Structures are given as structure tokens and as C-alpha cells.
Chain A
């Protein structure tokens, strides 16, 4: 294809990517370097239905003047990245100096907001992603072996978890695992422990969230693998059978290599998806036991009267960097494969 034609073809999507992906990221980078202006405070008497009280309030005229001069706010450099809510440079240094051993150090660092969120995010990503791949592959193999007339209904049923909106799905499960819910009550009866609660213990909450994650994403892996199975080379399979390969060996040496590119694709998508885990934490009211990077952004923007744009932007940048680091090995591998083939 001549370069001109190629550019003509790629231009619309390149333009769209510039406007909808590159520019917003630049804007987020800029915002993460600024914090709000100092607010001019005055003390005055405030009155209401419950009496009067001396309280400070913002002199908004004076503050608005500051804003007019510098609409972006005060330049803070990397200050936001290094503060306690993000990389917490000072606190980590203190923990390093004072800690009695590596475990004490990790506990101290682990209680800082960002590292706590990162801890759950990484655990979630690295538990859920492989399980989704394995489970999706197993469902695909099982469905592929089914007789033709039951395939349709079974495929439909296995896709259901993906069809349900994540927030609704997690809310449904949230009520089912309640101490009065069908799963919660059954577990209590099963373990003969009337105080067993999946919502109270942080460990059980983590497990619940991860089980939910696998339940929700496995259908995606299944669909992709199932499509891949339809293109299996029958000649190779037959010759493997003639050579005396059993079912396990056929899967190991024929099916798996054939599906490898798909597995990498699903793995990549899942890594990205799981790293920005968010809805289940809201749906399961799990903020007490598990927070993620996305959840931290959400609280910055939503739960205070004054949204902390700088802080949210810094966490967003750290999330993007995190995803890049996670994806690097997979991308490098794909690139090598590409080079080898061409």
C-alpha cells in the first residue's frame, strides 16, 4: 500500500485518537501538577435554626480574584504525587528508618492510602486474570464437546454474567451473601458458624470480590476461546490421534499452541480491566476492606464538597503508569513473536 493511501486511511482514526485519548491525557498531566489556590478565610458570625456561632468561611470575592489571575491554580510540581495520599515519599522514608524489620516496614507502608489500594488492585489483577483464562478455556472445551442441539442454550447461559451490568451483578451477589441471603445463610449452616459473615472480614471480602471478578469475566474468555476452537486444524488433530496422543496431549500440543495468540489477547484485556477494578467495590460496599486506584479517584471526585481534581489526576497518571508496567512484558513478547514470523 502506498504511504499516501495508508495515511489517508489512518488519518480519521489517528485524529479521533488525538482528540479523545491523547489530549485528555495531556490535560490530566497538567492538572496533576496544580493544586487549588489558597482560599482567603474570614471569621464571621453565622446564624441558623439552632442559634448563632462564630465560624470561619471563605471570602469568595478575594478567592475569585486569585483565581482570575491564575485559572489553573497554584503550581505544585510533583508535590501532589509525593504527598501522603499518593506515593507518600516522606512517610515511606520514615517507615524505612523506623521499621524493625521487612514485615513491619511492609505493614506500615501498606496502611498508606495509595499502597493499600495498590495492594488490593495487584492482588485482584494477578488472581483474577489467570483464573479467568483457565476457567474460560475449560468452559470453551466443555461446550465444544457438547452435542449440537444443547450448545445454543448452554452458550447463552454461560454468557449471562457478562450481559449483566457489573454494578447490578455485584449488588445481586451482595444481597445473596448477606447473613440473611441464600449464599450467606447456607455458608453459615455449612460451616456451623452463626457469626460467619463474608462482609465483615477483610480476607473474606477480598475473596468474595475476586470470585465475583472471575464470575463476571470468565464468559468473555470463554467466547473468545470458543471462537478459536472452531478454527482448530483438523488434520493436525487427526494425525496426533493416529500417533496415539490422548485427549490431554492433544490439548497440550495442538489446541493450546493454536489458541496462544487469543490467550495473549484475552490476558492483555483482562490485565487492563482488572487493574482498574471499581464497580464491585461500590456494589459490595467493600470500601472498608478493599480499595483500588479507581476507587481512590472516585472518592477524590465524588465524596467531598470540593472535588480534588489535582489529587484525582495524579492517581490517574499513576494508574496509567501502572498499566504500562503491567503490560510491558506481554507487549515485548508479542513484538518478538511478530518479528520472528516476519
Chain B
């Protein structure tokens, strides 16, 4: 018995060493400093953990994963030399870096060390690769199969069906507040409007300019739908962020929600919940709305960048390390953590909702440089409408006015 244990230990030790040597060979970095800043969630932890195997006596490796990464990034990358050689960004957090020229084009690095990357992983702005995307994320439908069955309704495909299903569930007294949403005033509420408005076929700006264009019938319809949904939500919904909604799901208080794909693993992992709840949570594409054909959601990517203000050696080292952190091996070892974009990734059931949304033609989150200001204005300006203190048109015209003031101060509007 003792013998086998020792043998096993020896064997696994040998395997580890073999892995370590291959990793070092795979990294192939002689010297340099790799300093990574990024958001803190399991998929990014997996990427940086894989990249960390490139650490050696001559290669310095430092990583800072924090929810506050966005507020650190601009100042940290503006310094020369930059505090971090790479920021792991998402669709929206790349914008301030692009606007200030804080990240460098990656074309040369991709040509040299990016053999395993698919073309669609390359975020190309004006013909130059500015980031390498490694995962996709979207808000899509989470639903409780058992509750929907008990209410006698099919999983909804449109928001109109969501309303009908919510009514059926409430009428039968199955769940008090059948629908859930991340409607916390601020960024989350803004994102919900962006999803719904895009589902309505709306655009945020006048063609080719930074002038706002949301105060129209599509905007009003999007708000009216959000209001109608809120009737089936916990009355505290304006304070609900992703953490709160996850807790509601795990407690069995919600039957349906349009929730982040990246939370699918956390909601169903059984931690903080019971098997009869988590076992019944299923995923589907985000619903369409008002007869539209595309799901009312936005597709997001997460990817890595290289800072402008660093030495070329450090940039090359960082690219190699991060490229080795987003391979299909890493992806397939972490199927529960994200919808990976790597070639050869085998998506598990948790990726279903995001992939179905993408296949149904969901649009990416807008990349206009002033979209961040619009998002903020929406997040702060729509709460009064949701509380019933303003009508939809007034709320939207207020948002346009707030956005215009901010866009002028930021130099996007004259």
C-alpha cells in the first residue's frame, strides 16, 4: 500500500516536472518582465495561472487581478514605463486605452508567436490588431425547468413570452417574483437598456457622429418592456447586481432571468444552493423582443493587450506568456469557466446560452469611443423612470442631455 502511494507520488512528481519543462520550452522566453492587470473572475484566473508557468529566474512575473482594474488602468498604463505590461480588457474597458493610445498594435507579435490564434480572435481596429480575445460572454436566458413545467409553459423565446410565463408562474403561486434581472441603478441598469434597445433594433448615435439618438419610439418601447418586466421582479430590483441575482437564483427565489453567461458555472456549482435547485437551472439564447429577429443582448469579449509604454523585450515576453495562457489546452481544462474562443475548444452545457445567442445573430457591444459616456448616462438617468416618477420620453431626453454635456466635456461633441 505504502509502496503504491510512494510510486504514485513519484510518478506525478515526474509528470509535473515534465510538464514544467515543456511549459518552459513552450514559453521560450529568455528574459523580460511580465506584469498583468485584469478583472478578477475564474476564467481570467485560469489564463494568468497558465501564463504564470513562464516565470523563471530571468523572467519576472507579476499579476494583479481586481474588480477595480478599470479605474487603475489608464493611470497605470500612462506612466512610462507602464506599471503593467498588459491589461486584460473587455469590449468596453479597451476603449479608454484606445482613446489615449495606451496600447500598442499586436500585428508583429501575432505574426511571430500567435500561430495558434484564430483570425476571429484578433480585435482589429482600423486594420491593426489591438487585442487578442480569448473568451465570449453575453447575458442570456437562465430558467428553472421544473418551475416552468409546473406552470405549464415552454421556455420563452421572446420577451412577450417571458411576460406570459412570469404571469402564469405568479398566478399559480409557484414563485413570488418569477423574473430576475441585474437592474441595479448605474452600470447594470444601463446594460439592461442597451440589451433591450439593441433587441428592438435601435442604434445609440446618429450615423457617423457622437450625437445621441436614443429618444425615439424604439427607446420608449425598450423602457416600457423593462417596466413591464419589473412588475414580476423583487421590489428591490434597483439594488440588484450580479452577486445579488446569483444569490436569488441559488435561494430558489427566481424562475427566469437574462443573466451573464460567465455566471452559469457559479450559479450551478451547488455552492450556496441545493441540488434540486441547481439541477433544474437550464440555459437558452437571450429572448428576442417586439417581433425582432436578434436576441436582446450584447456579445462581449475578454482579451489581452500590450501597453505602449514598455520595452519591446517586455512586450514580446508578455505576448508569449499570455498566448500560452489562452490555448485550447487551457480552454478544455476549464470548460466550466467560460465560453473560450480558442480553436478546438469543446463547449460544455454551460456555454449553451452564450453560443445560442451568438448563433441567433446577437450583436456585439458597441465599440464607439463615446459609448462609455452613453452607458453611464443611461445607468444614472433611467432609475426615475423605473420608479414611475418620469415618463419614458422625458427620461430618454434627460439621458441625451446628460450624455451631451459629458461628451462635450470629454471633447467628443462640439
User: Interface on A for B, CB 8 Å cutoff?
Assistant: 35-39, 41-53, 55-58, 60-61, 63-64, 73-74, 76, 80, 83-85, 91, 111, 113, 178-180, 195, 197, 199-200, 202, 284-289, 299, 302-308, 310-311
Nearest to B121 among chain A residues (CB) is: A49
Considering residues A35, A38, A42, A285, which has the most beta carbons from chain B within 10 angstroms of its beta carbon?
A: A285
Instruction: Decide yes or no: A46 and B126 within 8 Å by CB, A58-B99, A111-B398, A285-B184 being known contacts.
Output: yes
Residues of A within 8 A of B127 (CB): 44-45
Where chain B touches its partner, the secondary structure class is mixed
Task: How many A-B residue pairs have C-beta atoms within 8 angstroms? Tell me.
Answer: 184
> How many Å from the CB of B99 to the closest CB on chain A?
5
7 more A-B contacts (CB under 8 A) besides A197-B236, A289-B238?
A53-B367, A56-B210, A85-B406, A200-B238, A202-B387, A288-B238, A288-B386
Residues of A within 8 A of B47 (CB): none
In this assembly, does B291 line the interface, its C-beta being within 8 Å of a C-beta of chain A?
no
> How many Å from the CB of B208 to the closest CB on chain A?
6
In this assembly, does B366 line the interface, its C-beta being within 8 Å of a C-beta of chain A?
yes
Nearest to B380 among chain A residues (CB) is: A299
Contact yes or no, B412 A39, CB < 8 A: yes
Instruction: Decide yes or no: A55 and B376 within 8 Å by CB, A36-B409, A202-B387 being known contacts.
Output: no
Count of B residues near A, CB < 8 Å? 72
A52 to B125, CA, bound (A): 10
Residues of A within 8 A of B186 (CB): 287, 299, 303
Q: Which residues 380-414 of B sit at the A interface, judged by CB distance below 8 A?
A: 380, 383-384, 386-387, 389-390, 398, 401-402, 404-406, 408-412, 414
In this assembly, does B123 line the interface, its C-beta being within 8 Å of a C-beta of chain A?
yes
Residues of A within 8 A of B389 (CB): 202
A58 to B410, CA, bound (A): 12
Partner of B411, one of A35, A84, A302: A35
Contact yes or no, B409 A311, CB < 8 A: yes
Contact yes or no, B364 A53, CB < 8 A: yes
User: Interface on B for A, CB 8 Å cutoff?
Assistant: 70-71, 74, 92-93, 95-96, 98-101, 120-127, 133, 136, 184-187, 189, 208-210, 234-239, 241, 251, 299, 301, 341, 358, 362-364, 366-369, 372-373, 375-376, 379-380, 383-384, 386-387, 389-390, 398, 401-402, 404-406, 408-412, 414
Considering residues A35, A49, A58, A63, which has the most beta carbons from chain B within 10 angstroms of its beta carbon?
A: A49
Instruction: Decide yes or no: A289 and B98 within 8 Å by CB, A35-B409, A58-B369, A304-B376 being known contacts.
Output: no
The 3 A-B residue pairs with the shortest CB-CB distance in the complex, in nearest-first order? A288-B185, A288-B383, A44-B126
Contact yes or no, A84 B402, CB < 8 A: yes
Residues of B within 8 A of A304 (CB): 372-373, 375-376, 406
Partner of B187, one of A44, A56, A303: A303
Partner of B364, one of A50, A56, A84: A50
A289 to B296, CA, bound (A): 27
> How many Å from the CB of A311 to the closest CB on chain B?
5
